[in-house]
Amino acid sequence: MRSGVGGVLLSLLLWLSSGGELVRAAETNFFQLGIAAYEQKNFAQAAEYFAAAVTNQPSAAAWQNLGNAEWENGRTAQAILAWERALRLNPGAQAASNNLKFARERAQLEAPDLTWCEIVAGWLPANWWAVLAVTSFWFAVAMLLLPGILRWRKSSTPQALVALGLGVFLLTLPANYGVITRVRLGVALANETDLRFTPTAEGEAVTRLAAGEPGRVLRERGRYLFIETRRTRGWVERGAFGLVQQF
Amino acid sequence: MGAFLCVAVTRVVAQPVGPPPQQPDPLMQLMLTQPPIEISTNAEFKVEFDPPIVAVGEKAIYRVTINAVSDSVRWPDSIYAPMELTLKQSARGQILQPAVDKLRPITTINHHVTASKPGTYTIPEFRVKVYGQNVIVPAATLQVVSQSSPNLPKAQRLHLELTETNIYVGQPAKVRVYLPAGANNRVQTLSQVQINGDGVLVDQTSVRQRIQTMEFGGRTGPIFIYEASVTPLVAGRVDFTAQGYTANHFSGAITIQGQATIIGGSPTYVLLDSDPARIIVEPLPRTGELPGFTGAIGQFTVDPPQLSTNYVRVGDTLKLFVTFRTQGEIKRLNPPPPPALTNWQIFPPLVESGPILTATVNGVSSAITYSYTLVPLTNAMLKTPEIPFCYFDPRQGKYVDATIPSAPLTIDAGVATAAAQALAQAAAATQREGKLKLSGLAREPETSAASLMPLQMRSAFWFGQIVPFVGFAGLWLWDRRRRFYEAHPEVLVHKRARRALRRERAKLQQVAQANDARRFVSVSVNALRIACAPHFPATPRALVGRDVLELFAESERNGRTGDVVRELFSAEDAELFSAAKSDGNRLLSLQPELNRILDQLEEKLK
């Protein structure tokens, strides 16, 4: 009986591992297919493959390549969005950063208006900040409690470690705040996107946004988002504004 | 000795006597020469309806005037008026009236009033704070008749006209304010004219005023015209109004065409205002913008550029003159910035001449000339660089390219100066650094992330923090309990004894049910010993029946409790040391009493 359960578990494990391999293989396959299509100048097909790759398992490289393919397709906003997403996953991705600068210069677009917390948040991947914050916090808590519980010999080392842990935790707070606030950043997806006074289709246009022009969502109402750009504020249709990270 | 004294005296005379007298501040001097503003006299309101009789639906002006500074008057947001009257504040202004040795401030507040029914309506008196004091605004009465008549006096009003009502952000538009002549064709001029509107810039330098004979409102006669240029700064609907004080004196230049009678005598300052006029302001399209757009809106032409010389050496400067022309005025043109090039050093443009206004068949045209200073850094060029420029044409609704063309020139191949070479190298380096291009594809898929959503935004991440929290909380509680038991070991002993007693009692129940008298005795004695042990500094096995009885009162010891305990301990002794066997049934019958005794002992352990 015991050997039977073990056999089932082993089969399940093998199936899972083979399934994981298959998924990874498919993902790699889409990625490589995308590269092949891109090199054959079939940018629309390449964009589809890279989109499939990022849907299965998002990675900075896949997003970056999707951005390149979209740029070559003439879809500036989608390209900017993809490169922004690549940078969210890997802030050190030089290619994505360079491509963003290139695209903005070429399309005469401004970079998003970031707060200092959001700039700091961009120094490390977003998840690292979260892990760093909780690790340092619980480390400080552990260093506070464990010497008493485990009856360590009295010394200043645990106290110094508590201070260190709390210090790191406090320093990560602005970055974590920046990670949360920058989730509301996005870009206009189409050229001549109307920014309206009111959240209605008949609302008067305050201005028109170019494709890829950045904005920050301040609030939502129905199918409209109230966004703030560098120059003005207004309502934009939800479908016409792409968020770098869905919230 | 005499010579020494002479030197000493000379030295004393030559010593500076103090700091030089400070030059008075010209601004302060100017302010001091101005007559003071009178704010000491009692503030008094003067209220009137202009005209005092109107027909139903016609507009009258409820005008309130006070001899106080405008900022000191705390005018209420709404005024009580009869229901039949509609009251809306339309203008507020302040003028300084020259008096003897001082200036008297006069503040006027206008409201537009319309009546829905004929009758006589009174706006009652009310109080307003002026200079922090309550001042009574007197009542005023308006008579409303059912039908308009030519004999009824008409209120003097301003009329506002915009040359264009659909314009783009940044596009200047002409606005004209008309004040028709009153009775006997006597015309008044306006002072302190204001164009009010949110998000518009009024160009005060473009103001023109004239008196002209023309037909206005079905009547030909002299009319005062005030003309200014306004530039909307925001898109959307923009409402304008105009206001100004009648004054029979002129401020600024004025042109008089035709025959006009101008009122003389001391000025009468009456605040007049206009109905609002509306323009629709469109944002500039973001698409189709060409290089070199500096905000120019209109129709522009660029003359072929002129060079100060067409023969230079490398490192020498030359000037490029560019003339821009447009219909109308060209006041707010920003010239295109010079392009960044490796082989040219180009300095930002400066105004060379203009703007020059020229009368044409279609009106006025203007021209302005800018000069760019250029320094060739190499001798490889045969012409000046093109300078991108574009403007937005509101008539066509699109951006129009008007790039400044090249001009041919000859550059001497002589030795470039060290400074020119350094400039060329720096410019080339800057261009190399600044030239961005699209990066290639990533070849490897890299480590994949589960989601773009950061951990901070996932609820599972925060719920996951419960695990370490519970862990640390558990550890802390455990440590607290441990420390308590260390401080109070008797509590632990009692607790353990209770636990052991409960086990023994369960065993006792089993052996009683099995009618095993021998085991019943041993388990009973054991239970009694366990229950008593924490009260003695001894292990349970060392206790005897007397020790158990010591825990009971004298009466109980001599009573049934003592008997049961003694009998059980005796039975155990007999079991161990005697061949005679006890009566098993009798011993088993002691169970209810034993349970009572054990309850008592367990109670003592709490």
Among B36-45, B156-165, B244-253, B543-552, whose mean pLDDT is lowest?
Answer: B244-253
What Å distances lie between residue A63 and A75, A98, B334, B449, CA to CA? Answer: 14, 14, 41, 11
| Residue B459 in domain | no
* Closest-CA distance of chain B to residue A56, Å: 9
| Residue B384 in domain | yes
Interface probe with B: pick from A24, A29, A30, A31, most Cβ of B within 10 Å = A31
Give Cα B117 to chain centroid, integer Å: 46
Please provide the average confidence, as pLDDT, over all residues in chain B. 82
What is the arithmetic mean of pLDDT over B482-486? 92
Same domain, B168 and B274: yes
CB A142 within 8 A of CB B472: yes
B430 φ/ψ angles, rounded to the nearest 5 degrees: -60, -40
57-96 in chain A: CB under 8 A from chain B = 57-62, 64-65, 68, 71, 85, 88-90, 94-96
Single out the residue in B432, B451, B470 at which a domain terminates.
B432
| Residue B11 in domain | no
Question: Is the CB of B283 less than 8 angstroms away from the CB of A205?
Answer: yes
Pull the structure tokens for residue B86: 């509609």
What range does the domain containing B58 cover?
45-145
Same domain, B94 and B201: no
Same domain, B124 and B227: no
Report yes or no: B456 at the A interface, CB cutoff 8 Å. yes
Tokens 């009111």 locate to A198
Same domain, B359 and B243: no
Find the DSSP H helices in B15-109: 26-33
Report yes or no: A197 at the B interface, CB cutoff 8 Å. yes
Contacts of B338 (CB under 8 A, 6+ apart): B346, B347, B348, B349, B372, B387
| Helices (H) then strands (E): counts for chain B | 12, 32
The answer to whether residue B21 scores a pLDDT higher than 70 is: no
Helix axis angle, A43-56 relative to A60-72, nearest 10°? 160
| Better pLDDT: A3 or B90 | B90
What Å distances lie between residue A46 and A70, B253, B439, CA to CA? Answer: 9, 70, 16
| Residue B38 in domain | no
Same domain, B552 and B590: yes
Pull the structure tokens for residue B383: 């012409």
Question: CB A206: neighbour CB atoms within 10 A?
Answer: 22
Same domain, B278 and B303: no
Single out the residue in B123, B145, B167 at which a domain terminates.
B145
CATH label of the domain that carries residue B343: 2.60.40
pLDDT for res A1: 38
Establish whether the linkage from the previous residue to B283 is cis, with ω within 30° of 0: no
Find the DSSP H helices in B287-347: none
Domain A183-243: which CATH number of 3.40.1410.10, 2.10.109.10, 3.30.70.1060, 2.30.30.40? 2.30.30.40
Same domain, B419 and B534: no
CATH label of the domain that carries residue B245: 2.60.40.10
Same domain, B499 and B566: yes
CB B272 within 8 A of CB B158: yes
pLDDT for res B262: 63
CATH superfamily of A2-107: Tetratricopeptide repeat domain (1.25.40.10)
| Residue B86 in domain | yes
Question: Is the CB of B440 less than 8 angstroms away from the CB of A206?
Answer: no
pLDDT for res A227: 93
Single out the residue in B385, B401, B432 at which a domain terminates.
B432
pLDDT for res A13: 43
Among A226-240, B6-20, B132-146, whose mean pLDDT is lowest?
Answer: B6-20
B409-432 residue pLDDT tens: 887 765 556 666 666 666 655 555
Contacts with B455 from chain A: Cβ below 8 Å: 126-127, 130-131
Q: What does DSSP say about strands B45-50 and B59-66: parallel, antiparallel, or unpaired?
A: antiparallel
Pull the structure tokens for residue A105: 């210069």
Contacts with A38 from chain B: Cβ below 8 Å: 441
| Helix or strand holding residue B105 (H, E) | strand B102-115
β-sheet bridge partners, residue A237: A224
What is the arithmetic mean of pLDDT over B521-536? 91
A86-128 residue pLDDT tens: 998 889 888 999 999 999 888 878 888 899 999 999 999 888 9
pLDDT for res B13: 43
Same domain, B78 and B169: no
Using alpha carbons only, how large is chain B's radius of gyration in Å?
Answer: 53
User: Which range among A193-207, B11-25, B328-342, B438-452 has the greatest average pLDDT?
Assistant: A193-207
Q: How many domains does chain B have?
A: 4
Question: Is the CB of A61 less than 8 angstroms away from the CB of B446?
Answer: yes
pTM above 0.80, yes or no: no
| Residue B463 in domain | no
Question: Among B559, B490, B572, which residue's Cα sits nearest to residue B524?
Answer: B572
* Closest-CA distance of chain B to residue A8, Å: 28
Q: What does DSSP say about strands B398-401 and B300-302: parallel, antiparallel, or unpaired?
A: unpaired
Report yes or no: A101 at the B interface, CB cutoff 8 Å. yes
| Residue B395 in domain | yes
- Please report how many Cα atoms fall inside a 13 Å half-sphere around the Cα of residue B400, on the Cβ side: 15
CB B142 within 8 A of CB B115: yes
Question: Is the CB of B436 less than 8 angstroms away from the CB of A38?
Answer: no
Among A142-151, B311-320, B574-583, B585-594, whose mean pLDDT is lowest?
Answer: B574-583
Same domain, B527 and B600: yes
Contacts with B442 from chain A: Cβ below 8 Å: 60-62, 64-65, 95
